[in-house]
Amino acid sequence: MKLICKGLCVFLVLPLLANQPKVQSSANILLGYEKLDFGPIDGTAHALEILRHGNTLPLHIKNELIEFGFNFESQNVSHIRKDSSNLVYETTHFAIHYDLTGTHAVNGEDINVDGIPDYINQVASVFEYVWSVEIDSLGYNAPPEDGLQGGSGLYDIYVANLPSQYYGLAYTTTGATEENACASYIEIRNNYDASWFQDKTELENIQVTAAHEFYHAIQFGYNCYEEIWMMEATAVWIEDIVYDHINDLYRYMNSWFIRPEKSLNDETNGCTHCYGSFIFFQYISEHVGGHETIKNIWNHSKSYGNQDSPKDFAAIQDALVEHSSTFQYTLSSMAVANRLLTPSEESDPYTYQEASDYPVSAPPTSGTFYFTGETSIEHPNPVYDYGSRYFSVHTNDPMDLMIMGESFSNLDLDLNVILSLDNGDVVVRNGVSVNIDPDLGIDWITAVVTATTDAQSSYTFDFVLSEGYSEDYSVSQLSPNPFYGSSSETGSMNMDILVITPQTIRIDIFDLLGQNIQSFTNDYNEPTSNQFLWNGKNMGGQNVASGIYFIKITGQEKSSNQKVTIIR
């Protein structure tokens, strides 16, 4: 142990923007004037908001934040490290700063009589474990060093008497080793005695805090200018990767699932929605490349750095393309998975491994539509960019459900129709227009509309319900389309096939020259649903080249055609 003096830490911040409502909300939350429904919070999002935009706040709010450690004396807002004389316990990677007396004192109990309070030993052990997972196992870059601002080259953890609603906070500082990267330090609670935290043990609270806050420290080393929603959503996601058994992140799900029409990147109301947006990154990690894809998102964020316009979704798109997917397809698929909420492999890719334990039900419907045989037009509420709305559909006759709108491109909104069949199977159909035949034996129908771009802040659309046709078989669109694949590994495209009349179905794939490069034939002796997979290979088992291909599906009574683009 040794005594180290603390000084002023200056922060790298974004230029001041017209962001008054968000920064005011963050100030109110940090000062305890505004509470969030789901319990205690990570204060990092709100500290960053003040560091980036705090000079737009009124003087009386600034004066209160000064008591919280913020400094508004220059154009760039800064934060002062806790300046009391702290004892320091050093581990392999961390310097744990703490007090035994005064406002920030920890419980001095030392059962193993090693001269270090048991609470500090516990904090140190947890943070070292978090380092071993996030840095050593998952392969993230270690946070940049802060130029000995904390007295050593170790990463600084300050144990402090934080307001009762905070798990902890991570602050950016100077000392960056690369452009767009910031050094940082963390404040963690000196106890978890408040009623907020009683649903978890003291150890579990420390574990959740350490996993979350240290991931912020890692993020700052990639791009400390990144959008706050993505920082928070991925930091919540990592909690479940490091400590899968705790599931504290479940607390954010209810408020997110009851407002699915809100934007994925919504940072209003104290970033309430963006904590719950961890579910998007959970879906990515389970279906599009695993943990590595999330790390690659941060690699791409690092390459974009501080841009005039946000590049968060560009970074996500870049990482998904590396795994033969797209942002639009993944977001739309997640919206379907959120309706089904199942771990069943038979519903893949619309699944979550822990869905049976999630404390939420399917998102609420925004309307119920009945087809009576006559064409009708429905005018539902709009959907916001990167949000979804769910609609219940009922019909006794074949019907066509089509989405229309004058103010947007068909590329802006994605329509999925979920058919839950009487035999327990689930079929998902995608397209601007979807045929629904009740003779399939349908238990329930849900239409999901997802805004997959930010071309507008909200999208007003109509549903047209009109006469459809009887089917002896049906197929969904082959997806993902376009299909991205490397020359060495392609993954697979998939298409749901629903057979009503027993028959033989043949699938032929042609190139632009009309050459048949691959064929598949299946005999169906009874009504059933099946999934067709194509791995992008020809009859010789070789990857086909980039280009446009045509899929012809031929049954007993009808044939249909699709077009797919492959990009390598």
Q: What digits encode the pLDDT tens for the residues 159-179? A: 999 887 889 999 988 655 567
pLDDT of residue 488: 55
Q: Which tokens belong to 95?
A: 């310097």
CA 195 to chain centre: 29
From start to end of 244-387, where are the E strands? Answer: 368-371, 376-378, 383-384
Q: CA 420: distance to chain centroid?
A: 26
Query: What is d(CA 63, CA 53) in angstroms, rounded to the nearest whole number?
Result: 15
Helix (H) or strand (E) holding 118: helix 118-131
Q: What is the pLDDT of residue 270?
A: 76
Q: In what order do the strands lie in the sheet with 433-436?
A: 376-378, 462-467, 399-404, 433-436
Which are the contacts of 38, defined by CB distance < 8 A and separation ≥ 6? 251, 252, 254, 255, 272, 275
Structural contact between residues 157 and 96, judged by C-beta atoms closer than 8 angstroms: yes
Nearest to 267 by CA among 15, 12, 45, 37: 45
Show the tokens assigned to 33. 């004037």
- What is the per-residue pLDDT for 441? 86
- Tell me what pLDDT residue 115 has: 93
Q: How far apart, in whole angstroms, are the C-alpha atoms of residue 24 and residue 58?
A: 9
- Please give the angle made by the CA atoms of 48, 41 and 79, to the nearest 5 degrees: 30
Using the predicted structure, report yes or no on whether residue 141 has a pLDDT greater than 70. Answer: yes
Percent of the chain with pLDDT over 70: 93
- The yes-or-no verdict on residue 7 having pLDDT over 50 is no
Question: How far is the C-alpha of 485 from the C-alpha of 322, rounded, in Å?
Answer: 7
What is the pLDDT averaged over residues 178-200?
Answer: 89
Query: Which region among 135-139, 187-191, 235-239, 540-544 has the lowest average model confidence (pLDDT)?
Result: 540-544
Q: What is the pLDDT of residue 338?
A: 98
- pLDDT given for residue 6 in this prediction: 32
User: pLDDT digits over 252-270, tens only?
Assistant: 999 999 999 999 999 887 7
Q: What is the per-residue burial (b if ≥16 Cβ within 10 Å, else e) of 235-272? A: bbbbbbbbbeebbbbebbbbbbbebbbbbbbbbebbbb
Rounded Cα distance between 340 and 363, Å, is: 10
Confidence grade of residue 477 (pLDDT, cut at 50, 70, 90): confident
> What tokens appear for 28 in the block?
């109110």
Tokens found for residue 287: 């279906």
Which residues touch 253 (CB under 8 Å, ≥6 apart)?
276, 279, 358, 359, 360
Torsion of CA 113, 115, 120, 123, to 10 degrees: -70
**Could you tell me which of 123, 121, 41, 26 has the C-alpha nearest to residue 77?**
26
pLDDT class of 417 with cuts at 50, 70, 90: very high
- Contact between residue 357 and residue 346 where contact means Cβ atoms under 8 Å apart: no
Question: What pLDDT does residue 4 have?
Answer: 32
Q: For residues 301 and 79, which has the higher predicted lDDT (pLDDT)?
A: 301
Distance of alpha carbon 431 from alpha carbon 194, whole angstroms: 51
Length of the chain: 568
Q: Among candidates 291, 345, 339, 293, which has minimal Cα distance to 320?
A: 293
Classify the phi-psi angles of 166: left when phi > 0, otherwise alpha if psi is within -120 to 50, otherwise beta: beta
For 203-218, b/e burial (b = at least 16 CB within 10 A) is ebbbbbbbbbbbbbbb
Cα–Cα distance for residue pair 274/38, rounded to 1 Å: 13
pTM here is 0.85
Q: Which domains does the chain have, with CATH numbers?
A: 2-226 (no CATH), 368-470 (2.60.120.510), 483-567 (2.60.40.4070)
Q: Is 508 helix (H, G, I), strand (E, B) or coil?
A: strand
Q: Which pLDDT tens digit goes with each residue over 322-353?
A: 988 999 999 999 999 999 999 998 898 999 99
Q: Read off the pLDDT of each residue in 523-539 and give the average, rounded to a whole number.
A: 88
| 48 neighbors 170 (Cβ within 8 angstroms) | no
Residue tagged 């909200």 (tokens): 458
- Cβ–Cβ under 8 Å, residues 179 and 118: no
Nearest to 338 by CA among 497, 448, 219: 448
| Spatial CA neighbour of 435 closest among 427, 443, 426 | 427
Asked if residue 216 lies in contact with residue 230, where contact means CB atoms within 8 angstroms, the answer is no
Residue 10 has pLDDT above 60, yes or no: no
- Mean pLDDT for 170-192 is 84
Q: pLDDT band at residue 15, thresholds of 50, 70 and 90?
A: very low
Phi and psi torsions of 40, nearest 5°: -65, 155
- pLDDT above 80: residue 299: yes
- CB 28, CB 1: distance < 8 Å: no
Q: Could you give the maximum distance between any two Cα atoms of the chain, in Å?
A: 84
Q: Work out the end-to-end distance of the chain between its first and last CA atoms, rounded to an integer number of angstroms.
A: 57
Q: Which position has the higher pLDDT, 6 or 383? A: 383
* Nearest CA-CA partner of 313 in 326, 322, 295: 326
